[in-house]
Structure 1
Amino acid sequence: MKHSQSDATPRRMAFSMDDGVRLLGEAYGDAEKAGVLLAHGGGQTRYAWSRVAQRLGKAGWHALALDLRGHGESDWDKARNYTLERYGLDLAAVAASFSTPPVLVGASLGGNAGLLTAGRFAAGAIRALVLVDITPKLDQDGVDKVLGFMGRHLEDGFESYEEAAKAISDYLPERKGRQSNAESLARYLRPRPDGRLAWHWDPAFIIGRRSSRLQEDTVKSLESALAAIQVPILLVRGSNSELVNDESVSHFLELAPHAAFRDVTGAGHMIVGDRNDVFAEMLDDFLGSL
């Protein structure tokens, strides 16, 4: 069945991985058009891309926002395989479902996984790569801060949406005045049997990541994958990012000198949430240059 690029209602899509894990996603636009695959960051869901995906669909792209394994409505992995390599293989499998090689847009976790997809697992199946505030080398203090927040409420959860909103506000004080409401948080939280609310991702994803130090072989794998990528690359950093500093960017551009780099003023690590319109315009410009 064909779908008009003007469709405002997303289409639910399901993908079965080779290990039995089922991934869910939402697509906008005509499936026969050029594609964009959107991979969110750790602890997020496909809804992080909703406005971007809808905008892309209206502009004539086939945009697919995916729930990564262990996140959102995708399956939790019974084997607890949440390695970057596994995420990279998942993205390669989903990319292969497009009619033509898609542009892969990955934020944080989705970006590092995308590096492996484009540089190791599916080099010929990716048209271009957009990395949102992620590089092989990161500011470890910033990573510790992110992982500390993600792990802080694993056991107790939240009594209410208001409590969760306050926790987010305390973690992101620069967003005061834009406090999350119950409707938006319902996409990121799920009710537990005890009546409390928990994040909409598998706790096993973060257990074992409380040490932020990536294994040296993992960093080398990411660096090797980046250096091998021949397709166009865009690195977008939040000017206030706590993870990607100037040294990270310089190291990235040494490995991929053909990559383009853009800073988003006034944004932190969560660029798409902080400055959605600015990011969308940068993405439009990059896609238009392909």
Structure 2
Amino acid sequence: MSAATIETIRIQTSDGLHVACDVLGRSGSRCPVIFLHGGGQTRHSWGSTASQVAVNGHPCWSVDLRGHGESDWAADGDYSTEAMVEDLGAILTQIGRPPVLVGASMGGLVGLMSEGKLRPGG
């Protein structure tokens, strides 16, 4: 299979920040996958993993969480997990269908918390 094309986009969050995402295999027909990095890392930590998943038909979104990589810094200093969950909500809206969430360390916590807050009835 050929390598997936990477498109870097910026998504505006509910409080006006922009988070950077690498989108691979956007046209894939299988379930989307969102990759969330750990503290002190960036979306690039998931590069080879996301590429392998994307070539198998899954649209992949590797995210720079707020204050990391090419995402905006919060003027009010809010880098709480709750704020990152809200940011993830903006990404989920952009994707438009339920994804699989994959996270390491801090990103794993953001993913777990989003399940309780962003899912219907959460």
- TM-score, normalised with respect to structure 2: 0.90
Alignment of 1:231-250 (within 5 A): none
RMSD of equivalent CA atoms: 1.9
2:7 alignment counterpart: 11
Distance in 2, Cα, partners of 1:31 & 1:17: 24
Answering whether residue 24 of structure 2 is matched by residue 24 of structure 1, we say no
2:60 alignment counterpart: 63
2:70 alignment counterpart: 73
- Unpaired runs of 5+ residues, structure 1, are 125-227, 230-290
Q: Which has the higher helix share?
A: 1
Deviation at 1:88, TM superposition (A): 1.1
Distance in 1, Cα, partners of 2:9 & 2:60: 12
Deviation at 1:31, TM superposition (A): 3.7
How many pairs were matched up? Answer: 121
SS in structure 1 of the partner of residue 88 of structure 2: helix
Answering whether residue 49 of structure 2 is matched by residue 52 of structure 1, we say yes
Q: Which has the higher strand share?
A: 2
Deviations 1:226-246 (A, max 9, x none): xx98xxxxxxxxxxxxxxxxx
Deviations 1:171-226 (A, max 9, x none): xxxxxxxxxxxxxxxxxxxxxxxxxxxxxxxxxxxxxxxxxxxxxxxxxxxxxxxx
Distance in 2, Cα, partners of 1:69 & 1:89: 11
- TM-score, normalised with respect to structure 1: 0.39
Distance in 2, Cα, partners of 1:31 & 1:53: 14
Distance in 1, Cα, partners of 2:85 & 2:52: 26
Deviation at 1:8, TM superposition (A): 3.2
SS in structure 1 of the partner of residue 48 of structure 2: helix
> Quick check: 1:38–1:49 contact (8 Å CA) kept in 2?
yes
2:115 alignment counterpart: 118
Alignment of 1:69-218 (within 5 A): 69-120=66-117, 122-124=118-120
SS in structure 1 of the partner of residue 95 of structure 2: coil
SS in structure 2 of the partner of residue 97 of structure 1: helix
Larger RCO (alpha carbons 8 Å, 6+ apart): 2
Change (3 A) 1:31 1:14: farther
Deviations 1:44-102 (A, max 9, x none): 00011001110011010000100000000001111110011111111122122113111
Distance in 2, Cα, partners of 1:61 & 1:6: 13
Distance in 1, Cα, partners of 2:26 & 2:81: 30
> Quick check: 1:41–1:108 contact (8 Å CA) kept in 2?
yes
